């Protein structure tokens, strides 16, 4: 399942279901997933630039917790929760 979005040098963008702590609880949602040099990276925010979209807010994933699925809305599942780098502490 690709999103139709491509990023120069990165290739196709797909979907991953991730978990994140929010307001004291855990939420699950789908986000974009890219691979850069074989490393899986969740893209939380895209920034529009003159030559195409740029992954502006990202979280690098540990590949051992990333699993293929055959769900219609996500190609991958990430087993552990991620931290939003934009979170204010």
Q: Are 49 and 60 in contact (CB under 8 A)?
A: no
Higher pLDDT, 89 or 15: 15
The answer to whether position 66 is within a domain reads yes
Could you list the residue range(s) of the whole structural domain that residue 20 is in?
Answer: 2-82
**Owner of token pair 């630039």:** 49
- Structural domain count of the chain: 1
pLDDT digit string, tens, across residues 8-59: 556 789 999 999 987 778 899 999 999 988 899 999 999 988 888 889 999 9
The answer to whether position 88 is within a domain reads no
């Amino acid at each position: 399942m690709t999103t139709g979005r491509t990023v120069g040098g990165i290739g196709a963008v797909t979907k991953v279901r991730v978990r994140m702590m929010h307001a004291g609880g855990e939420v699950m949602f789908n986000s974009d997933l890219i691979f850069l040099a074989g490393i899986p990276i969740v893209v939380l925010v895209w920034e529009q630039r003159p030559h195409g979209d740029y992954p502006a807010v990202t979280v690098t994933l540990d590949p051992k917790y990333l699993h293929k699925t055959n769900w219609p809305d996500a190609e991958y599942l990430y087993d552990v929760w991620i931290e939003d780098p934009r979170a204010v502490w």
